Amino acid sequence: MDLARARIYKPAKTAMQSGRAKTKKWVLEFEPGSARHVEPLMGWTSSRDTNAQVLLRFDSKEEAVAYADKHGIEYQIFEPKGRRRTIKSYADNFKFGRQGLWTH
């Protein structure tokens, strides 16, 4: 039996949402164990790797690491990147010497 490999990370906010709803928990996701192939009759993409369907969520990174260690799962941790915020005021849109072009 070969060892399963997994990634432990905190998911980023998608571009299609404004909130940060599903970004608080840590995720343990297995790496693909085999290549995907196209099923000839219907054209669906499939895989024989059942671990590709498993996605585990944990409240903390330590819980995810403890689970991986307990079950003998080889893992790699990806730390989240910090958010960069550019704080602007509404008055900056109308100031003299503004860099951007007016669109109206």
pLDDT, tens digit, for every residue of 45-69? 888 888 888 899 999 999 999 999 9
Q: Which has more confidence, 74 or 21?
A: 74
| C-alpha distances out from residue 33 to 28, 40, 47, 49, 57, Å | 15, 21, 9, 6, 20
- The pTM score is 0.71
| Mean of pLDDT over the chain | 86
d(CA 55, CA 72): 17
